[in-house]
C-alpha cells in the first residue's frame, strides 16, 4: 500500500511516517505540507490512500476533496483531524471522505482504517463514533422533559399506563399524552421502538 500524508504540522507527519513504517502492508509513504505539494505529488505518482487534514493550512479538506476525488477516483481519502464535534464529522462525511480518524487515535485504529478503506469499506474510529453517539444522545435528551424521561424509564421497566399513573400520581390520560409526545420526539411508531431506542441511546438506566 502506498500512502500520502497531507498535514501542515511537522510533528504529525513525523509521527505518522514512523508509525506507518511499522505496518508490513505499507510499502511507501510520502508527505505534503501544503496543497501545492499535494497536487504535485499526486500528479507524479499513484497512491492508494491519502490521509488529509481537514484544516490543511490555508485550505479546508472538505472543500478540496471533490477536486481530488474527481482526478483520482480510485484513491481512498481518510480525514485526519483533532476535531471530534458532530458538525465537523457530519460535514466531512457528506464531503466524501472514506473514513474519519482523530489525531489522538492509536496504532490499532489507524491500521484498521487503512485495511477497511482498501476493501471499499467506510471507517470511523471508536472515539469518533463515541463523539457522534454522545452528541446525538445529548440532542435527544434536550428534547425530552424531566417528566417524559421519568415516564420513559417506567415504560422500559414494563409498567402499564395504569401503574405509571399511580406511581407519578397522574391520570392515565395524561400518561398517554406524554407517551405520544415521547414517541414523536424519538421518531418511533410503537412502544417496542421506543424501548429499543431508549436502551440503544442510553436514555434510561437499565437495572
For every one of its 207 residues, what pLDDT tens digit does the chain have, with 9 covering 90 and above? Answer: 999 999 999 999 999 999 999 999 999 999 999 999 999 999 999 999 999 999 898 899 988 999 999 999 999 999 999 888 777 888 888 888 999 999 989 999 999 999 999 999 999 988 888 776 676 666 666 688 899 999 999 999 999 999 999 999 999 999 988 988 888 888 888 888 888 888 877 788 765
Going along the chain from its start, the domains and CATH numbers come out as 2-133 (3.40.50.2300), 144-200 (1.10.10.10)
What dihedral do alpha carbons 122, 125, 126, 129 form, nearest 10°?
-60
DSSP H helical ranges for the chain: 10-20, 35-44, 61-71, 86-95, 107-118, 126-143, 146-156, 161-168, 172-186, 191-200
d(C-alpha 12, C-alpha 28), whole Å: 17
> Model pTM?
0.66
CA 12: distance to chain centroid? 21
d(C-alpha 66, C-alpha 72), whole Å: 10
Amino acid at each position: 500500500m502506498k500512502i500520502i500524508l497531507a498535514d501542515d504540522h511537522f510533528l504529525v507527519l513525523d509521527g505518522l511516517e514512523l508509525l506507518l513504517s511499522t505496518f508490513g502492508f505499507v510499502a511507501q509513504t510520502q508527505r505534503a505540507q501544503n496543497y501545492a505539494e499535494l497536487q504535485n505529488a499526486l500528479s507524479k505518482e499513484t497512491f492508494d490512500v491519502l490521509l488529509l487534514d481537514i484544516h490543511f493550512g490555508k485550505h479546508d479538506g472538505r472543500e478540496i476533496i471533490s477536486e481530488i476525488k474527481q482526478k483520482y477516483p480510485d484513491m481512498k481519502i481518510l480525514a485526519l483531524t483533532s476535531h471530534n464535534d458532530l458538525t465537523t464529522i457530519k460535514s466531512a462525511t457528506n464531503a466524501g471522505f472514506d473514513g474519519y480518524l482523530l489525531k489522538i487515535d492509536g496504532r490499532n485504529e489507524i491500521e484498521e482504517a487503512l485495511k477497511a478503506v482498501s476493501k471499499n469499506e467506510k471507517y470511523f474510529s471508536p472515539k469518533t463514533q463515541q463523539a457522534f453517539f454522545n452528541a446525538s444522545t445529548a440532542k435527544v435528551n434536550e428534547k425530552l422533559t424531566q417528566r417524559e424521561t421519568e415516564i420513559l424509564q417506567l415504560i422500559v421497566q414494563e409498567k402499564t399506563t395504569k401503574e405509571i399513573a399511580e406511581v407519578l400520581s397522574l391520570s392515565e390520560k395524561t400518561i398517554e399524552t406524554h407517551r405520544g409526545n415521547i414517541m414523536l420526539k424519538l421518531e418511533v411508531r410503537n412502544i417496542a421502538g421506543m424501548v429499543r431506542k431508549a436502551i440503544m441511546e442510553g436514555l434510561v438506566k437499565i437495572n
